[in-house]
Chain A
Amino acid sequence: MPDEPVGCAKPTGTVIGETADPDEKNENESEEGEKNMVMARVGGKAPDFEAPAYHKGAFVNVKLSDYLGKWVLLCFYPGDFTFV
């Protein structure tokens, strides 16, 4: 895992364990660079992503597909320093 954080959190556009076909990716890209992203649904493969993270004192990169072979609890929440 490289130490240098990625610029911002990016879904890869594919599900975990798959790499995007470069040709297909271009076809799906609109003028704004928006891609037809795979959306999360139960029973489907999780959308893969790469993102910067803070982990035990260091800034790291996290890639969801690196967790293949393990159970993962992925928790979204509204914000740090909120009360619930």
Chain B
Amino acid sequence: MSAVAGRFDELQKLGVEVLSVSTDSVFVHKIWEEEELSQMTKNGIPWPMVADGAGNLGRVYGVYDEANGVNIRGRFLIDPDGVIQAMEVMTPPVGRKIEETIRQVHAFQLVRKTKGAEACPAGWEPGMTTLKPGPDLVGKVWKVWQPQ
């Protein structure tokens, strides 16, 4: 969470709002934010920390672990129409990398801006060449894009 908080300004510039969810109560969220997270981030946690005590939200997002009563790591990128464009679900011992999330935000925003006229190939980073899907590109991707 603190890693995301460190890039919050950048996410806001991209027009991205953040919501975090765990099965902890709002009281636990408050103390965690005040006692620990505020020591790891410049301004604490600036977004709503959602309490999902019964795992009701985790269940509909497919991340609730019934045996352990917790939500496993799940990251969902939702576009302005409410459509889930990307999801990443991981077991607890390995953390996520916010840079990858931000890369995907850039990529999905570009695709949205071009109304699908441009697509982002594997390994795409902002500023790199995009693909223009269409009859002329069939069998010719190698001319405009090579794996790194």
Contacts and interface: CB of A to CB of B under 8 A. Distances in A.
Interface string B9-42: 0010011111111111011111011001000000
A55 B36 CA distance: 15
Given A67-B17, A76-B74, A47 B51 contact: no
B70 A39 contact: no
Contacts, number: 198
Nearest to A17: B82
B69 to A, nearest CB: 10
B38 to A, nearest CB: 11
Contacts of A37: 59-60
A40 B87 contact: yes
Interface stretch (B91-99, B119-127, B128-136, B139-147): B91-99
Nearest to A61: B48
Contact of A42 (B82, B86, B93): B86
B83 A46 contact: yes
Given A11-B56, A76-B61, A81-B32, A16 B82 contact: yes
B50 A9 contact: yes
B116 interface: no
B65 to A, nearest CB: 8
Contacts of B93: 84
A70 B80 contact: yes
